């Protein structure tokens, strides 16, 4: 194998190396807590892949990450950061829940489609606000999406503690902030006996769709062009503002769809613990990690979200077996983000180096040819 | 009515403190071209370390010092990732936020466990000034960290606008190539501003846990660090405007708390939403007098070859 091939292959392993390094630091933290990292990680691995059910749980956990990751891919390719995944998940899930509560008697498939559509629309509008503010009022999208996260959470808390609270909770006087269980007709089909549901397949379908959209359609091309070079796009007559709003809209739509699927595929109701995390499990942030890990490519995001899903599912098990506070996984997640973005530069530099080597080789070949003549 | 207004304003001034420290630190970092979104995580770490130190030793000064050191260490790490490794700053910041949130919760769970209180910095009446009616009550009977935060505004203004260091910082953020050709060490300046910003975020956290609230719990800041970053945009990278933004924001917040305490019949979720809505609306309204961010913000510096 040539030197440059090794280089080229090693490039793709840099994010994985970064991931492993983060796990290593996690191991040190576990050791400091006085627990054997070996036993802890063993529990993690077993929790993620140890049985049929464990694998299904991993896939179920990965599904919202994939939806968020796909949304992030679109936003990123348009050159904007969408950090509002948490809020968009909440709004998407709420929209789907409310529509199911309003029309409990519709036939299953129709209601499922309507619920998915409303999740899609809810997330799209929520992100669209940020896109609109960015395109026409120059409001920094990082800030507006974060503010919208908080607004969504308080809105959710209000609705779940009042207007759409489970009537049973009111009658019992326990006032747990959640809705009634949605009609079983709207439950997404499951692969019994596991918890795996149809949502995962929908997610993979959308991953392919996003790939086709971004790389095989004119609109997708324009969105990517804006992300590459906004001045050139403007000069070539692209309505930058319109496409920026569209990118946000679609980005939020996918996230919102993920939220709706969490409701009708997993929980079958909406609930809150007062923060966003209670419902989303921080998928809005972890999906960013998945997208990054998948090199901001919709197809690459599929295995990336699986990996993270495994980590999260396994961590749950690890927490039960070796009594590690769940906050450790939070810290570990943060480390993974930091290491993966940090390593991105090394990868870029490596890519450049490979290109340079190829150029040199190319030139020397040409030179040889000339000399032959 | 007068007592209510004084009460609300006094608590508004108190609430401004953490925002001011964090926002001024972020302003300086952004002026040098580094966007740090991890402020909230650093604040949480500062809040925890200060609280833990005070809980164990009872020494407030030491608690503050530890928060500054921890904040500085986080600043160093953030600078390493953003400046040396040239990472995507928006995302690395989210990473540091998640890391700080997780680590502070983990440390809290393993080292403290339950919610406890400490006796934090007590109000320090400034002689004479505190006797001025109304104004004295609102401004001059606060704790020392509040005074520190307000003192920071003119100090940072002076450093940024009237000293060679400030000129270098702004040059590095506006036109790094030019600054580089004039021999300004870009990497050093950016490390300096980000570490300093980290220290201030540490103090911001400490001001919550050992001066304003005197408790620590998981996610104590509840996103204050992000608001602090928003205030930097709001204030268009000028310390004085950042101050006015922080004052506006904390007044809205103080009114919101007052409404809740008074039990006025508005669902608390709506009042809690208010500060965030105000922030978005104000950011949008400011579009008209839009000020350009530092040109090199969020752009790692690469020397041309």
pTM higher than the cut 0.95: no
Q: CB–CB of A165/A98 below 8 Å?
A: no
* H or E segment and range at residue A155: helix A141-161
Q: CATH number of the domain at B185, please.
A: 1.10.3470
**Is the Cβ of B295 closer than 8 Å to some Cβ of chain A?**
no
Portion 15-44 of B in contact with A at CB < 8 A? 37, 41
User: Is B300 a domain residue?
Assistant: no
In a domain, B215, yes or no: yes
Q: What is the pLDDT of residues A196-208, one digit of tens each?
A: 999 999 999 999 9
B233 contacts A341? CB cut-off 8 A: no
SS (H, E, C) A160-196: HHCCCCCHHHHHHCCCCCECCCCCHHHCCCECCCCCC
Pick from A253, A337, A342, A249: nearest CA to A290: A337
Phi, psi of B266, deg, nearest 5: -120, 130
Q: Is residue B12 part of a domain?
A: yes
Integer Cα distance of A21 and B159 in angstroms: 40
- The verdict on residue B301 lying in a domain is no
Q: How confident is residue A4, by pLDDT bands cut at 50, 70 and 90?
A: low
Q: CA-CA distance, B199 to B67, in Å (whole number)?
A: 8
Phi first, then psi, for residue B141 (nearest 5°) are -125, 50
- Within-domain flag for B304: no
Q: Is residue A185 part of a domain?
A: yes
Which residue of chain B comes nearest to A155, CA vs CA?
A: B269
Nearest chain A CA: its distance from B30 CA (Å): 14
Contact list in A for residue B106 (CB cut-off 8 A) is: 29, 325, 327-328, 330-331
CA distance A157 to chain B (A): 7
> Residue A261 in contact with residue A116, Cβ under 8 Å?
yes
Please, is B3 exposed, middle or buried when counting C-beta atoms within 10 Å of its C-beta (0-12, 13-18, 19+)?
Answer: exposed
Looking at residue A111, which CATH number applies to its domain?
A: 1.10.3470
| Domain encompassing residue B126 | 2-289
Instruction: Note the pLDDT tens digit of each residue in A33-69.
Output: 888 899 988 998 999 999 999 999 999 999 999 999 9
Residues 6+ apart with CB under 8 A from B181: none
Residues in chain B with CB shorter than 8 Å from the CB of A338 are 81, 87, 92, 95-96, 99
| B48-78 tens-digit pLDDT | 999 999 999 999 999 999 999 999 999 999 9
Give per-residue pLDDT as tens, A289-336: 889 888 889 999 999 999 989 988 888 888 888 888 878 888 888 898
Alpha helices (H) along A33-84: 37-49, 52-77
Q: Lowest-pLDDT range, A121-135, A199-213, B193-207, B213-227?
A: B213-227
The answer as to whether A352 is a domain residue is: no
Judged by CB atoms closer than 8 Å, whether chains meet at B287 and A138 is answered as: yes
Percent of chain B's residues with pLDDT above 90: 50
How far is it, in rounded angstroms, from Cα B103 to Cα A49?
27
Query: Residue A276: what pLDDT?
Result: 80
Q: Tell me what pLDDT residue B41 has.
A: 96
Give per-residue burial for A14-51: e unless 16+ CB within 10 Å, then b: bbeebbebbbeebbebbeebebebeebbbbbeebbeee
Quick one: average pLDDT of B138-156? 90
Q: Is residue B294 part of a domain?
A: no
How far does A328 lie from chain B, in Å, by closest CA? 6
Residues of B in contact with A133 (CB under 8 A): 280, 283-284
Which of B273, B284, B287 is facing A151, going by the closest CB pair? B273
Domain count, chain A: 1
Write phi, then psi, for B284 (nearest 5 degrees). -70, -40
Domain count for chain B: 1
- Torsion angle, alpha carbons of B221, B149, B279, B158, to 10: -140
Domain with A256 in it: 36-323
Q: Is residue B198 part of a domain?
A: yes
Chain B residues 189-228 with CB within 8 Å of chain A = 218-219, 223, 226
Residue A368 is predicted with a pLDDT of 65
């Amino acid at each position: 194998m040539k030197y440059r091939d090794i280089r080229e292959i090693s490039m793709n392993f840099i994010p994985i190396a970064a991931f492993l390094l983060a796990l290593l630091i996690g191991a040190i933290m576990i050791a400091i807590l006085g627990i054997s990292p070996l036993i802890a990680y063993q529990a993690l691995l077993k929790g993620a892949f140890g049985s049929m059910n464990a694998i299904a749980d991993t896939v179920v956990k990965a599904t919202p990450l994939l939806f968020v990751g796909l949304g992030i891919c679109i936003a990123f390719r348009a050159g904007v950061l969408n950090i509002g995944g948490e809020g968009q998940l909440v709004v998407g899930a709420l929209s789907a829940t409310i529509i199911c509560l309003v029309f409990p008697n519709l036939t299953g498939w129709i209601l499922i489609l309507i619920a998915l559509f409303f999740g899609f629309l809810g997330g799209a509008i929520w992100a669209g606000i940020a896109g609109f503010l960015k395109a026409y009022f120059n409001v920094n999208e990082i800030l507006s999406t974060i503010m919208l996260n908080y607004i969504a959470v308080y809105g959710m808390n209000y609705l779940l503690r009042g207007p759409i609270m489970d009537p049973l909770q009111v009658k019992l006087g326990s006032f747990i902030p959640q809705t009634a269980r949605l009609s079983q007709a709207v439950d997404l089909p499951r692969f019994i006996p596991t918890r795996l549901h149809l949502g995962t397949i929908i997610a993979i379908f959308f991953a392919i769709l996003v790939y086709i959209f971004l790389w095989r359609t004119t609109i997708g091309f324009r969105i990517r062009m804006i992300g590459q070079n906004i001045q050139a796009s403007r000069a070539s007559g692209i309505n930058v503002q319109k496409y920026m709003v569209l990118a946000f809209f679609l980005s939020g739509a996918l996230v919102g769809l993920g939220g709706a699927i969490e409701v009708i595929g997993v929980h079958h109701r909406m609930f809150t613990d007062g923060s966003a995390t209670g419902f989303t499990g921080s998928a809005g942030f972890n999906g960013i990690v998945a997208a990054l890990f998948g090199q901001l490519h919709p197809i690459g995001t599929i295995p990336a979200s699986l990996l993270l899903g495994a980590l999260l599912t396994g961590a749950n098990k690890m927490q039960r077996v070796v009594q590690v506070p769940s906050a450790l996984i939070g810290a570990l997640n943060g480390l993974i983000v930091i290491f993966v973005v940090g390593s991105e530069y090394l990868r870029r530099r490596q890519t450049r180096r490979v290109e340079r080597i190829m150029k040199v080789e190319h030139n020397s070949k040409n030179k040889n040819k000339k000399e032959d003549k | 009515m007068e007592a209510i207004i004084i009460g609300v304003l006094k608590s508004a001034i108190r609430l401004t403190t953490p925002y001011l420290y964090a926002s001024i630190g972020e302003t300086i970092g952004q002026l040098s071209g580094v966007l740090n979104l991890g402020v909230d995580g650093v604040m949480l770490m500062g809040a925890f370390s200060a609280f833990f130190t005070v809980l164990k030793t009872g020494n407030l000064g030491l608690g503050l010092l530890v928060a500054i050191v921890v904040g500085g260490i986080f600043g160093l790490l953030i600078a390493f990732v953003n400046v040396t490794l040239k990472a995507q700053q928006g995302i690395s910041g989210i990473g540091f936020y998640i890391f700080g949130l997780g680590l502070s919760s983990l440390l809290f769970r393993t080292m403290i466990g339950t919610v406890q209180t400490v006796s934090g910095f007590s109000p320090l009446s400034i002689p004479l000034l505190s006797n001025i009616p109304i104004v004295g009550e609102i401004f001059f009977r606060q704790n020392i960290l509040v005074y520190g935060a307000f003192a920071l505004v003119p100090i940072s203004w002076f450093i940024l606008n009237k000293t060679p260091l400030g000129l270098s910082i702004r040059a590095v953020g506006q036109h790094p190539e030019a600054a580089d050709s004039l021999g300004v060490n870009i990497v050093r300046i950016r490390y300096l501003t980000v570490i300093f910003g980290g220290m201030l975020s540490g103090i911001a956290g400490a001001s919550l846990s050992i001066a304003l609230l005197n408790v620590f719990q998981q996610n104590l800041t509840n996103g204050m660090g992000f608001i602090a970053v928003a205030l930097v945009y709001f204030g268009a990278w000028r310390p004085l405007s950042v101050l006015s933004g922080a004052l506006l924001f904390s007044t809205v917040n103080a009114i919101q708390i007052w409404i809740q305490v008074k039990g006025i019949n508005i669902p608390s979720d709506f009042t809690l939403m208010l500060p965030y809505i105000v922030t978005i609306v104000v950011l949008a309204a400011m579009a008209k007098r839009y000020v350009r961010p530092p040109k090199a913000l969020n752009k790692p510096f690469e020397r041309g070859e």
